[in-house]
Structure 1
Amino acid sequence: MALTTLERGVHHITTDFAEGIIQNAAGKMKANKFVSVSTYGAAINAFTILSGLLLKGESCDDFCVVLNGDEYRTPESKTERINKSLTGEDEKVKRLRGVARNKVLQFNLPEGHNPESYVHYLLCSDLINDLKDEETEIIEAAKKIKYVKDGHKYIDQVIDELGINRAVALNNIISLVSKHPEWNDFMTSIVDWMTPRVEALKEK
């Protein structure tokens, strides 16, 4: 991870699937050149990385971590995890805990969903209009997937059904599902965090 990217734009650490979602949001803002995305694996790693940066004194004004939204869903669970990563009772640590709480974002998911299963649900909902032929193909592929034991595998199954390159498929799927009327709600916290920072960077 290149920390120098913090100096030139909004920097997110997130997961593989979420990376494409955030890049899609940045693209709609015409702000891809300002947004740098890195992956961190398991959700617990987000708190460790964020805490380490803050303790080192890194400038994290334009930095956040994005959780999938199926773990550490509540403010209380996030605070508990932050307290375990930033231990101690001195004033510096107490201040950094407050900073950290504002740096942990998540996708807005219905109870019982992870991003992959939710995107699959949206694809199958028949609420996306004005479809192109290639978009209809994605929806038809999604509807063939009735049940996956591991909910994180729904999009993998759709990609397998499409039989095309994963990166291309992810881009096409995310571009399509971002037209769904529920998408803005799903993206609320991330877009609200990005918007003023991107606008400030554009003005420089």
Structure 2
Amino acid sequence: MNKITLKEIRFKKLKGLSNVTIKFSKPLTAIMGVNGSGKTTVIHALSCLYNPDGNGENHIFPEFFTPNTDASWSGSELEAVNEIIGTDGVPTLLPPKKYYKAFDRWAPRYQTRPKRNVYYIGIETCLPDIEKKNQTTKISYVSQCQTSNVARKTIQGAAGILNKNYTALMDNCYKGTHFPGVELSDSLKYSSLSMGSGEQRTIKILEKVTRAEKYSLILVDELDLLLHVSAFRKLVKELNRIAVEKKLQIVFTTHSLEILSMSEYIGIQYIENVTSPTGSANSFVYDRLSEELIYNMSGECNKPVKIYVEDSLAKDIVHEIVRDLQMTFLVEICKFGAIENAFTLAASFIIEQRDTRNILIVTDGDKYCTDSERMDHIEKKLCGTEDDAEDKRQAALQLIHQFSLPTSTPPEKFLHQIILETFPQDNSIYQAAQAIQGVNDSHEWISNICDRLDESQETIIREIFKYASSHELFLSYIDNIKTWLSQHQNI
């Protein structure tokens, strides 16, 4: 088996892509862009680069780029740059492999392609195979429980992503056609004929990725198709876990801006096509999304409300307040680090004469808690003696709000106590919190819970909002921030 990895693909000319280079720096790569930008063209081209190295699929260019009245594809040209790991474990960059169509046939011959297993998952996987036969009479299929390790891992992954109590993956057979099904913990069984389209596609994706050999290339067109946001995020995290474990490359197209919150897992390649004043078309690729590109995708302008917080814990808490107030599309949350930076930030906004009506700087509430303490720090940043110096300092002070913590209590310790006071005792988060009696660092009151349960901090905070929604101390803790945000709901 070749230990081969695709580093980049260069399109000289293919369909609407011209002089475009797509790079692959992470196990997961999202190909993004508006409709017609060439996302699916990239996926289709990638599927044709290799010969199967075992059980992989054998796709060829005419399968996706079929000659027709309007397009012969003559003049198409691209090249791929691969890296291979030798028997000594040393990676070597291979010379670029060129693919082109000069006349009637694509070159070079397919048998000379590098060996690598490729699996393509198109949007047609939203339909069960049996439905593609337009069957209208009763379908009496034979159902059998799949007991393989692949089936077990597939159904476990699907259960977590879709929040379903699956216990088994079924194989259903009707007149030689196989299609999947599931069994639930209450012994209910149903096939893909009765599944939601997003559900069956998730199972198909997971099954194919789980079954794939190491170093395979997995290609998925419209990964987010028919999935709600929570399921999509969980699917991405599960695919990343499998890709890292098996040295896979997973490349997918998507329109979902949820990708922005998962950049730790995903490399972004955004394709933008621009027509010059002379009428010539140019394509550009970006590895991050600017506000302009986000607007192209969503039609939404830059979020008008800016909230600055100390760390990821505060960011997750503010995010939940924002979500509760249904202000997600209005508010951008940024981290500024150490609390001292809050005063530098506030002073800079005043010096720059920024419009600060929709800007809030939030401190944790365990340090520099009084107005006089905060003003001492602001005076060090705004130390002028001009006539309006005091007005500037007061304006900077008004930008800074804080969470309302009990005296000398770190926020993580406070939230730990809230869990013990509000969560049911049979709740796993409560049990993990109760087991933590002391810590070396205050952050560990929450991070240790995350580690014990293998849950994200975001999940823990969301559960705290669920169970502590009427707790007096917790409501007081978030009141300053929630009140300020409530006053900006109708901007």
Could you say which TM-score interval applies, normalised by the shorter chain?
0.7 to 0.9
Alpha-carbon shift at residue 75 of structure 1 (Å):
1.1
Alpha-carbon distance in structure 1 between the residues aligned to 2:471 and 2:439: 22
Matches within 5 A, 1:28-43: 28-43=324-339
Q: Which residue in the other structure is 2:340 paired with?
A: 44
Q: Which residue in the other structure is 1:189 paired with?
A: 480
Task: Determine if the alignment matches structure 1 residue 68 to structure 2 residue 359.
Answer: no
Alpha-carbon shift at residue 163 of structure 1 (Å):
1.6
Alpha-carbon distance in structure 2 between the residues aligned to 1:56 and 1:42: 22
Structure with greater proportional strand content: 2
Alpha-carbon distance in structure 1 between the residues aligned to 2:291 and 2:315: 17
Q: Which residue in the other structure is 2:431 paired with?
A: 140
1:92-118 deviations in Å (ceiling 9; x for gaps): 332211111111111100012111110
Could you tell me which of 442, 451, 454 is aligned with 1:151? 442
Equivalent pair of 1:119/1:177 in contact (CA under 8 Å)? no
| TM-score in terms of structure 2 length | 0.37
Alpha-carbon shift at residue 153 of structure 1 (Å):
2.0
**CA 1:132 to 1:36, structure 2 compared with 1: closer, same or farther past 3 Å?**
farther
Alpha-carbon shift at residue 91 of structure 1 (Å):
2.4
Alpha-carbon shift at residue 53 of structure 1 (Å):
1.6
Q: Which residue in the other structure is 1:13 paired with?
A: 308
Alpha-carbon distance in structure 2 between the residues aligned to 1:123 and 1:20: 16
Q: Which residue in the other structure is 1:97 paired with?
A: 393
Equivalent pair of 2:446/2:457 in contact (CA under 8 Å)? no
Alpha-carbon shift at residue 42 of structure 1 (Å):
0.3
Task: Determine if the alignment matches structure 1 residue 160 to structure 2 residue 451.
Answer: yes
1:146-167 deviations in Å (ceiling 9; x for gaps): 1113222211111111123444
Alpha-carbon distance in structure 2 between the residues aligned to 1:118 and 1:96: 34
Equivalent pair of 2:346/2:397 in contact (CA under 8 Å)? no
- The one-letter amino acid of 2:329's match is K
Q: Which residue in the other structure is 2:282 paired with?
A: none
Equivalent pair of 1:20/1:174 in contact (CA under 8 Å)? no
Matched residue pairs, number? 193
Task: Determine if the alignment matches structure 1 residue 85 to structure 2 residue 85.
Answer: no
After TM superposition, which residue ranges in structure 1, 4 or more long, deviate above 3 angstroms? 165-181
**CA 1:167 to 1:195, structure 2 compared with 1: closer, same or farther past 3 Å?**
closer
Alpha-carbon distance in structure 1 between the residues aligned to 2:425 and 2:332: 30
Alpha-carbon distance in structure 1 between the residues aligned to 2:305 and 2:445: 29
Task: Report SS of the residue matched to 2:486.
Answer: helix
**CA 1:152 to 1:21, structure 2 compared with 1: closer, same or farther past 3 Å?**
same
- The one-letter amino acid of 1:77's match is E
Alpha-carbon distance in structure 1 between the residues aligned to 2:404 and 2:386: 34
**Which stretches in structure 2 are left out of the alignment for 5+ residues?**
1-289, 293-301
Alpha-carbon distance in structure 2 between the residues aligned to 1:80 and 1:95: 15
- The one-letter amino acid of 2:399's match is K
Alpha-carbon shift at residue 173 of structure 1 (Å):
4.4
| TM-score in terms of structure 1 length | 0.85
- The one-letter amino acid of 1:161's match is R
Equivalent pair of 2:317/2:461 in contact (CA under 8 Å)? no
Task: Report SS of the residue matched to 1:13.
Answer: strand
Structure with greater proportional helix content: 1
Task: Report SS of the residue matched to 1:36.
Answer: strand
